[in-house]
Amino acid sequence: MKILFILLLLTAGATASVHPADSAQAADTLHYLLPEVTVQAQRNRPFDRISSLPVVEISRSYLLKNNATNFVQTLASLPGIASMDIGAGFSKPVIRGLGFNRVAVVDRGIVQQHQQWGADHGLEIDQYDVDNVRVHKGPMSLFFGSDAMGGVIEILPPHVPENDMFWGDATLIGKSNNALLGASVMASRKSGSLFYRARATVQSYADYRIPTDTIEYLTWRMPVHGRRMKNTAGREVDLSLSVNYTHEKFDGWLHVSDIFGKNGYFPGAHGMPLLSRLKPDGSKRNVEMPYAASNHFKLISNSAWQLSAASQLNLDLGFQQNHREELSPFHTHYSNQQPPVADPDLELRLRLQTFSANVRLLRDEDKRWSKTYGLSAEAQHNRVGGYSFLLPGFERFSAGAYWLNRLKVTETFLLTGGIRYDAGSMRVNGYDDPVLADHLVMQGYSHEEAAFYALRSVDLHSSFSDFSGSLGFAFSPGEHHSLKMNVGKSFRYPGANELASNGLHHGAFRHEQGNSGLTPEKGYQLDLDYRYTGRKFRLTLNPFIGWFSNYIYLEPSGSWSILPHAGQIYRYRQAEAFMAGGEVIAELELDERWSVTSDLEYVYNRNLTDHYPLPFSPPTVVTTRLTYSGAGQDVVSNYAFGLENQWVMEQNRIAKNEERTPGTTLWNLSAQMHWRLGERYVITTFQIDNLLNRAFLNHLSFYRKLNAPEPGRNMQLIVKLPF
């Protein structure tokens, strides 16, 4: 009810709070805000200019035209980016085969920290609150430290107009496959030195449908009643507020957001399901146990002071609290275990608090040789709860210092480079499980053996430090050609799960066990970015090659777990690893209305120690789009229609205990139209995904291990009403 009140309040503001002068200004501004491609300069973000890595920048228009179920799935339309889907509601990003803690999401200068180590933990971002995104493919430890060795998804602040005005939009979303209904309302105001924007987004979806009646898992044939994946419904409620103040030599931002999501799990995702649990429960929109609920609160401050004509000081501060709970009916794994008195069905609770600070001094930005000096620090505090144990509580602190350079050798040749040093520490809280000890004694183990196994986590204090750096160039010999090359060294601290986890991970069907002897990952990578831009034809080549001296991975140990119903123990190991691949993108304008685009993305990797490929490797994908675009009689009306073919090749290069995934061919349709309805301007996006309703498996999907196909045909309609 509270959220509905906020939505109504914002909508009322859209119709009642516009002054006559603002209305005229807003009408004039529509011509600048609505074109499909908007080029904007962003202050205080030197990374695009100093980096010689491949960088893709996309606008709000691209995000709307390629809108998918969530932010990550929308970005997956970019070559080299894939989504690890958790049903039809949540996803996590994968860049060139690297995901989890190897890809950083940077929101307004602050690295988002949540429980990204889990395969069943999605990214908590409201995609309707994102206006501009930069995707950096390649090692970015030089800029952001640990967790950025695979790439960075950088969310930029919204654009601030120069003229005073009030504007906003109301967006309605509908999707057929999982009966999703949603609305997002935004209101913005620019008045003198102040700018503020508020947004509220609400979405609710039902169990999603797949193009099959049964799922074959091991020796089981699980029925899918009504072709709906039972208990995969969910809901999302997002609130955000951004405020900007600009005055003479100061520019400041304050961002506040609160993202809540709740999604159910198919009963077969938490242990072997009973047939009775798969029967319809009379509702396709309710969320029963097992389910996960997450809430991510974020407070970010960005400040920039122009100290002199040659110096600028930037300060980014952030506080985040990520609270995740997984609920499942209490099921004893030990014969002597009793349900907790409070929250008896709370299986797992993870509460992570993160404090971040970044300071940058930019010198001589307009000179031939520009420099950036930076300091960053991050402190984390994590606490756990629930009747199951997987991950202990921990405290982690890290800090780094770096120096970046940009040397303009000639008008066409630019050298970039820098070096960074980081140090950090992690304290892990020990945990002794007396219930397990008593159970083992009852099973015939000695008291000494029971005490040994019941010590699930020891008190641990680990310290890490490492250097990272990069050297590259950007060369533009003419208006048609450009070439970038970058050689970089990156690193990543081991996560708490890799160091100290020890328990049954229901979402992954295994007993996961950490390794306190792990050392920081070190990677070395070469990236190239060649672009040809002609009048009718454009070509982009992004090859890369990388080598890790001590890549961290989870390996089946061959030892049977003493925990009931846990199966084999999987332990974290380190190995030498190699990877290579890249993207090829070709665009051809057939005439003023017709165009065709084709892109290829390919990743090859190998564990050089055990000679297996690395886990969660995306398959080779070729995507071809045919687009027809035109314009109406008035200046603001335009439309576009597209037909897309996605050829996903089979993935036979698999890690130990992974399943081969067959390939598929998918067809998608899309249509976008900007048009007038009386005095109102309307933006409509319609698309049909998986047009032929083909049953196919996604190698990166959370439900791949169940052999569950991805969602079938989905029709999506988005109506955006700017005001």
Q: What is the DSSP string of 249-277?
A: TEEEEEEEEEEEEEEE--GGGSSSPPGGG
pLDDT band at 87 (very low <50, low <70, confident <90, very high): confident
For 467-481, what is the mean pLDDT? 93
For 350-370, what is the mean pLDDT? 95
Distance CA 439, CA 453 (A): 11
242-269: string of b/e by CB count within 10 Å (b at 16+)? bebebeeeebbbbbebbbbbbbbbbbbb
pLDDT at 690 over 70: yes
Helix or strand (DSSP H, E) at 4: helix 2-16
What DSSP string runs through 582-600? EEEEEEEE-SSSEEEEEEE
Tokens of 49: 């200019």
The SS3 assignment for 641 reads: strand
Which residues sit opposite 643 in a β-bridge?
626, 669
For 516-529, what is the mean pLDDT? 95
pLDDT at 94: 95
Comparing 62-76, 258-272, 489-503, which segment has the lowest mean pLDDT? 258-272
Helix or strand (DSSP H, E) at 76: none
pLDDT at 268 over 90: no
What is the third-level CATH fold of 2-722?
Maltoporin; Chain A (2.40.170)
The SS3 assignment for 426 reads: strand
Q: Are 226 and 177 in contact (CB under 8 A)?
A: no
Higher pLDDT, 502 or 620: 620
Helix or strand (DSSP H, E) at 163: none
pLDDT at 28: 34
CA dist 187 to 111, 199, 243, Å? Answer: 26, 7, 12
Q: What percent of the chain has pLDDT over 90?
A: 68
Q: List pLDDT tens digits, range 208-246.
A: 999 999 998 777 788 999 999 999 999 999 999 999 999
Phi and psi at residue 55, in whole multiples of 5°?
Answer: -130, 130
pLDDT at 488 over 50: yes
pLDDT at 316: 98
For 202-213, what is the mean pLDDT? 96
pLDDT at 245: 97
What dihedral do alpha carbons 104, 110, 112, 117 form, nearest 10°?
A: 50
CA dist 222 to 257, 264, 567, 713, Å? Answer: 40, 18, 21, 21
Helix or strand (DSSP H, E) at 143: helix 141-144
Helix, strand, coil percentages (3-state) for the chain, rounded to 5, are 15, 55, 35
Higher pLDDT, 11 or 448: 448
**Eight-class DSSP state of 150:** S
pLDDT at 474 over 70: yes
Distance CA 111, CA 133 (A): 14
Distance CA 300, CA 159 (A): 17
pLDDT at 565 over 80: no
Sign of the C-alpha dihedral, residues 260, 265, 271, 274?
positive
pLDDT at 5 over 80: no
Amino acid at 698: N
pLDDT at 217: 78
What dihedral do alpha carbons 268, 274, 280, 284 form, nearest 10°?
A: -30
For 696-711, what is the mean pLDDT? 91
What DSSP string runs through 487-537? EEEEEEPPPHHHHH-EEEEGGGTEEEE--TT---EEEEEEEEEEEEE-SSE
Amino acid at 274: L
pLDDT band at 69 (very low <50, low <70, confident <90, very high): confident
Peptide bond just before 290 cis, omega within 30 deg: yes
pLDDT at 40: 40
pLDDT band at 178 (very low <50, low <70, confident <90, very high): very high
Peptide bond just before 434 cis, omega within 30 deg: no
pLDDT band at 637 (very low <50, low <70, confident <90, very high): low
pLDDT at 15 over 70: no
Domain ranges of the chain: 2-722
The SS3 assignment for 75 reads: helix
Q: List pLDDT tens digits, range 112-160.
A: 999 988 878 889 999 999 999 999 998 999 989 988 999 999 999 999 9
Q: List pLDDT tens digits, range 589-603.
A: 999 999 999 999 999
pLDDT band at 90 (very low <50, low <70, confident <90, very high): confident
pLDDT at 698: 94
Distance CA 323, CA 485 (A): 41
Mean pLDDT of the chain: 88
Distance CA 583, CA 485 (A): 15
